Structure 1
Amino acid sequence: MQLRYLLPPPPAQRRGLFICRLCTVIGLLLLIGGAVSIVVGYTWPHEGVEQSIYKIVIYE
């Protein structure tokens, strides 16, 4: 009975695993950043719809 599964993976496989983990972390950070920006965008104090319509009318 051999215990091959206890050995670390070969270097090429280890590098691929590192790249996969790095991409996963970057993707999760982008996902969390997008969610935070959506929440901030909805809760940020902003002017009403009527004021923005007035600005558009005045601009034209």
Structure 2
Amino acid sequence: MTESAEPSFPDEQLSTLFALAGLALDETRLASKQELYSRTLALVHRTSGAHLGETIPASSFNASWT
């Protein structure tokens, strides 16, 4: 994915995300760190869409109790 395709998170969206996470964030701190927060969330967004396929169990499981 290219840099230009990364999502952008405006201040109001970042405020909402932090509020939903229960994190109190001062408006001045949000304004001063907006680019960092936006890039971090874009990275999380980019990696969360990775399709891993099916995971093969490490060991077999037998559900019988006998």
Tell me the TM-score normalized by structure 2.
0.35
- Greater RCO (Cα-Cα under 8 Å, separation 6 or more): 2
Which structure's residues are more often helix, by fraction? Answer: 1
Larger Rg: 1
Tell me the TM-score normalized by structure 1.
0.37
